[in-house]
Structure 1
Amino acid sequence: MAPRTRAQLAEKMAAKDVPADVAVEVLDRFEEVGLVDDRAFADGWVRSRSTGRGRRALAQELRRKGVDDETAAEALEVVDQDTQFEAARQLVDRKLRSVRGLERAVAERRLFGMLARRGFPTDVVVRVVREALQAQA
């Protein structure tokens, strides 16, 4: 079974009609013995998904998983500007083949959109796309 956050487990227990006081007690015990660790979950999530996502997208994913903002922010510290540039460059390099032959404006729009949907910041998106298209020309 894949790791889960405390919030995800609480949600599952509620769906199974586990009384709230029992669920809290069980989850507290799970945390006590190390079976549930939101910080470790967030670190692992960021490590495994940072190659294809920007900080904003990762933060949203963690929020949806029930990780609090402070824990998410700590886990996201490893995703610095250089890491995001490199991940964006790799994605653009793969996508460049499919936009060859298109007008520059169309290619830019498609590449910008792809990176923006993946949560990369605007400055990273603009710089990476423009560098890639200039190198291709």
Structure 2
Amino acid sequence: MDGGGRAVDPVVAAREICLRQLTTRARSRAELAATLRRRGVAADVAETVLDRLTAVGLVDDRAFAAAFVSSARSHRGLGRQALAAELRRRGVQPEVVQAATEVVADADEEHNARDLVRRRSAAMGGLPAPVRVRRLLALLARRGYSAQLAARVVQEELAAVDLDQAGLDPDELDSGEVEPDW
């Protein structure tokens, strides 16, 4: 019953719940289904409403996943593994997760990892190298970067920082003209 004593159509009520959820941000079908379950909406009513919202394009897990990947990469600096985990947590189907995360190019992921390491290592200048390495590796792991990529990026970026602080040119080291003292 609504405020006027009339019976409320459960489909209309469920649709309103979903539309209110979608006004704040895009949501996966599974997120909307969970909200409807929590609100006591019958499973058949929820399925009817979600099918209709999907048919009209208001619920689209592929578009949701693509938008999430783009946004989380640029605003939160997440790597593929963290993006995939977050999408799975939101109930996105595995094949949709895979398709959404495959668009992240290796070079882009490496660029983002390097950017994170540069920004964070600048604030760690006074720490001993092993501590910096451990903290930077942990940062990249939390952000969903592979261990191999994290190790390579941290090693290369810290070597470059140490060389800069010593006033050495990395190209001179590659040519064998200068021997590092570390």
Matches within 5 A, 1:114-129: 114-129=139-154
Residue among 95, 104, 127 paired with 1:70? 95
Partner of 2:36: 13
Partner of 2:57: 34
CA drift of 1:48 comes to 0.6
> Does 2:78 match 1:53?
yes
Partners of 2:42 and 2:137 in 1: CA distance: 48
CA drift of 1:122 comes to 1.1
CA drift of 1:80 comes to 2.2
Q: 1:11-53 CA distances to partner (integer Å, 9 max, x unpaired)?
A: 1111111111010011001111101000000000001112401
Partner of 2:166: none
Between the aligned residues of both structures, percent identity stands at 47
Task: Specify the structure having the higher radius of gyration (Cα).
Answer: 2
The count of aligned residue pairs is 137
**Structure 1 unaligned spans of 5+:** none
> Does 2:130 match 1:105?
yes
Partners of 1:103 and 1:16 in 2: CA distance: 53
The Cα RMSD (Å) is: 0.9
**Structure 2 unaligned spans of 5+:** 1-23, 163-182
Partners of 1:47 and 1:54 in 2: CA distance: 11
Letter of the structure 2 residue corresponding to residue 56 of structure 1: Q
TM-score for both structures, normalised by structure 1: 0.96
Higher relative contact order (CA 8 A, sep 6+): 1
TM-score for both structures, normalised by structure 2: 0.73
Partners of 1:36 and 1:24 in 2: CA distance: 12
